[in-house]
Chains A and B, each alone.
Chain A
Amino acid sequence: MPSQLYQEVPLAEKERLFQLVKSDARFDSYLYGCYECGICVAACPSARFYDFSPRKITQTLAREDVELFYEQLNDDVWNCSQCFSCLRCPRQNSPGGLITIMREVAVNNGLKTTQEALAGYTRIIYKIMTTGTQVSPDMLQEDAFPDWGPQVKEVAANLELWRRALPPETLHTTGLSWDVEERTMHELYMIWKLTGVMDMITALDEGLHDIMEEIMEDALEDSGLTID
């Protein structure tokens, strides 16, 4: 049955986004067809707790059902755990890989549902893209992880001291997971700029882009690294 959702979005726009997914260099090696056996669903953690099915995603893409594709692009892809348990597929499909491609297209095109799905996540993007490490010790705060129990509070309270009580010399950091050289970060900034990742951030969150752009521009100015 064709999807009745997102009727206000023109079919041409749905088709355009579908073609972006299909033209990804990885697409042909992630999708070979579908036996409809459901092995991927049986192995999928997200299928147990969400109205989510890697089999449906694979079938939709194989059938080129652009209406259902657009619905999944908005409502399903962020439920995937990206564990790749679905690689158990006897047809050698990678439903998780197809979802990675769909997510990239969703970010690149600034879908509102994507912006909503990642709204609470942008501080992590800021951290990894500007420092080169993801969840730094100083992000372990009680208000961010209340369900992890009182131990998080204890870590936060003793953070600087406990980090000095680590024998590896590279781990005496609180704002980064380890001590990353300045030059290393600058090279990372170059990679984001040269590969269009900063444009993806603009599509997702312009404010976040502007903050990061300023940091990177200032840092790169004196680094001797040039884009052109």
Chain B
Amino acid sequence: MGPIELPLTRRGTKPETERSFTPDPEQAPVEDLREAIWELGREGEWIVQPVPEPYYEARTKYGRMKKIPLQKTWHHKSCGQCGHIPGYSTSIFWLNRLLHYDYFDPRDQTSCTAWNYYASATSNQAAQAAVAMRNFSSAYQTGYYPLIHCGTSFGHYKEVRHELVHDHALRRQVRDILAKLGRPFVMPEELVHYSEWMYAVRDELTARRVYDVSGLTATVHPACHYYKLQSGDAIYDPEIYGGQRTAAVTAVVQALGANVADYSTWYDCCGFGFRHILVQRDFTRSFATLRKIEVMKDEANPDVVLTHDTGCVTSLDKSQFAAQAHNRNVGVPVMSESQFAAIALGAHPYRVAQLHWHSTDYKPFLSKMGIDVESAWAEFQEDLKKLESGAMEYLTWEAVL
């Protein structure tokens, strides 16, 4: 007797419980640092960079409201996104341009260096804090406000901020280093991740949707460093899992009209491991496929896996190739919600979303959205010919918007 195909019952984002959760900032187990940040500013310990107006106010895990800047954003880029998933950052920029939002893409920016720190520990508290404050200082001097692309940068900077608020010796040490660099010592009022900006503009994005995505099902992997590190500072929404899980990514995908399906290992990490993804990938491959992709496939059979961090896209996308050789139940495209949203809003899948940098087969997903994949690839090949012949030096924004 052969295997029996069992019917799949997809679970959505409504909690399967009668219990409700009303967040109360007074009961939060983690402190709200904002008043301390302003107080240190008043005492002359640092300059506080306010969130530029107009801003969106979003609810966080324990009920406090967080200011999300809409414009005048200084884009703190991610090494991994820019390095090997460049459609990730390109899509964020493209969405800003589509909305006619003023933003700044800096060259005076280093990586947060936290990937290396969590991989090898070849750094320390003071160095990590100095790297963060050097970047914040650079943003302040341009008049734009930091918007952090990487989940690990966001989480690590929140840790650094916590340490700088509480440890005056560390604060003085880092302030002296910044002085040696000839830079002002600046702490932003809020630390903001790009997926929070996506959440803030989700209605504007939905109003500009080009493709009907209602036939698509996505599973969402919430990035550990986004909501587990300094957990009180992540966005939660009563409409998403009753406010019990972060609303980042899920709220945006639902607003765009796609179905988000639940799966049992949503809390598990992606298997990135920081060191493991580079030099011990047997662990990453096993975890990403056995604990994440296969579970998603078994329980929700999604058309696409969406997440909001560099490492998660990398682990979940790249790990599937080797698992296919073992006939595992894998084979689903993985991308950021910024790429998904950009494509849904009419961005070119190769010129903007740059899906040819991804390993998994994304073509059935694009076709299901109504995109002519062959024509899109042919258009991109024409661009490459022009670049090769010298007829065009670079693909420009004017050519893609």
A interface residues (Cβ-Cβ under 8 A, vs B) = 25-26, 29, 43, 45-46, 48-50, 78, 81-85, 87-88, 92, 100, 103-104, 106-107, 117-118, 120-121, 124-125, 128-129, 132-137, 139-140, 145, 147-149, 151-152, 154-155, 158, 161-172, 177-181, 183-185, 187-188, 190-192, 194-197, 200-201, 204, 225-227
Contacts and interface: CB of A to CB of B under 8 A. Distances in A.
16 contacts: A120-B279, A125-B120, A133-B83, A135-B80, A135-B115, A149-B359, A161-B388, A167-B395, A177-B111, A178-B77, A178-B82, A188-B131, A191-B131, A192-B127, A194-B177, A204-B122
Contacts of B155: 84
Contacts of A194: 130, 177, 180
Contacts of B79: 128, 133-136, 177
Contact of A200 (B122, B183, B267): B122
B291 interface: yes
Nearest to A92: B29
A124 B120 contact: yes
B127 A118 contact: no
B206 to A, nearest CB: 24
Contacts of A103: 120-121
Nearest to B115: A134
- The listed residue with most B CB atoms (<10 A of its CB), out of A171, A181, A225, is A171
Contacts of A196: 124, 126-127
Contacts of B42: none
A190 B181 contact: yes
Contact of A164 (B77, B125, B285, B387): B387
B93 A168 contact: yes
Given A161-B384, A194-B177, A166 B268 contact: no
A124 B116 contact: yes
Interface residues of B, number: 93
Contacts of A178: 77, 82, 107, 109
A179 B107 contact: yes
B395 A183 contact: no
A82 B273 contact: yes
A137 B83 contact: yes
Contacts of B384: 158, 161-162, 165
Contacts of B321: 147-149, 151
A225 to B, nearest CB: 7
A184 B177 contact: no
Interface core residue of B93, B121, B354, B394 (most chain A CB under 10 Å) = B121
Give chain B's interface secondary structure class.
Answer: helix
Interface string B338-371: 0000000000000110101111000000000000
B124 A104 contact: yes
A2 B212 CA distance: 63
B87 to A, nearest CB: 9
Contacts of B351: 165, 167
Contacts of A161: 384, 387-388
Contact of B83 (A82, A118, A135): A135
Given A132-B111, A167-B352, A124 B119 contact: yes
Interface stretch (B3-11, B223-231, B254-262): B223-231
A82 B225 CA distance: 9
Contacts, number: 263
Given A179-B107, A180-B110, 16 more contacts: A45-B271, A46-B283, A81-B273, A83-B224, A85-B267, A134-B80, A137-B86, A147-B321, A147-B322, A164-B394, A167-B395, A168-B89, A178-B77, A178-B109, A194-B177, A194-B180
B380 interface: yes
Contacts of A200: 122-124
Contacts of B395: 164-167
B113 A134 contact: yes
Contacts of A147: 281, 285, 318, 321-322
Given A167-B397, A177-B82, A184-B110, A197 B269 contact: no
A195 B130 contact: yes
Question: What are the 6 A-B residue pairs with the smallest beta carbon separation, nearest first?
Answer: A103-B121, A149-B321, A132-B110, A83-B269, A134-B79, A195-B127
Contact of B122 (A26, A45, A165, A197): A197
A170 B124 contact: no
B146 to A, nearest CB: 15
A163 B82 CA distance: 10
Contacts of B225: 83-84
Contact of A121 (B80, B170, B279): B279
Given A45-B287, A107-B120, A78 B90 contact: no
B228 A84 contact: yes
A137 B85 CA distance: 9
Given A45-B269, A81-B276, A181 B107 contact: yes
A197 B116 contact: no
B356 A136 contact: no
B275 interface: yes
Contacts of B383: 165
Contact of B181 (A50, A166, A187, A192): A187
A164 B167 contact: no
B1 interface: no
B165 to A, nearest CB: 12
A120 B279 CA distance: 6
B125 A134 contact: no
B266 to A, nearest CB: 12
Contact of B272 (A83, A92, A132, A172): A83
B134 interface: yes
